[in-house]
């Protein structure tokens, strides 16, 4: 995972960008900054869909400050996002056994799993423990 925090004297706050293990853009967070529509459009047009290092090269001679940092997801973040409050202690034990990459994937792929459930209303959402133990994020939920 590659997380970047981007700041500039041209706007207040920060932009958070996250690339996955496959170097594909996963997430852009504009909520912590105050950008004009023109600035937002510029940023979206320059941000590469596939990760390139250093990321700042994508923006040419702009006045951006780009800080690279590791990305971590806490159990609490995952627990709240999964939003099925059962067997917390057992789920937390499985969480502790996961690598950082698996934790991030488990977190970000909840949305795909939930879309699959919405399209297949006869299925029920797995217990949090089962989601982690059975590595549901590794499934192709687009089918």
Which pLDDT score, from 0 to 100, does residue 117 have? 93
The tokens describing 72, both together, are 């971590």
Ordered by start, the domain boundaries in the chain are: 2-69, 75-138
Provide the 8-state DSSP code for 135: T
**Residues in CB range of 128: below 8 A, 6 or more apart:** 79, 82, 84, 86, 87, 88, 91
When the pLDDT of each residue in the chain is averaged and rounded to a whole number, the result is: 86
The answer to whether residue 73 scores a pLDDT higher than 70 is yes
Strand positions, DSSP E, 1-143 = 2-8, 11-19, 25-29, 33-34, 65-69
pTM of the complete model beyond 0.85: no
User: If pLDDT is split at 50, 70 and 90, which confidence band does 16 have?
Assistant: confident
């Amino acid at each position: 995972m590659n997380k970047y925090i981007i700041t500039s004297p041209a706007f207040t706050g920060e932009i958070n960008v996250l690339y996955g293990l496959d170097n594909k853009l996963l997430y852009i967070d504009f909520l912590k900054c105050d950008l004009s529509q023109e600035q937002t459009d510029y940023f979206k047009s320059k941000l590469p869909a596939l990760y390139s290092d250093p990321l700042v090269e994508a923006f040419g001679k702009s006045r951006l400050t780009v800080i690279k940092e590791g990305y971590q997801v806490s159990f609490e973040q995952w627990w709240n996002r999964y939003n099925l409050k059962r067997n917390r202690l057992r789920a937390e034990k499985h969480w502790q056994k996961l690598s950082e990459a698996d934790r991030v994937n488990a977190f970000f792929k909840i949305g795909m799993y939930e879309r699959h459930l919405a399209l297949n209303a006869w299925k029920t959402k797995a217990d949090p423990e089962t989601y982690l133990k059975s590595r549901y994020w590794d499934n192709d939920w687009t089918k």
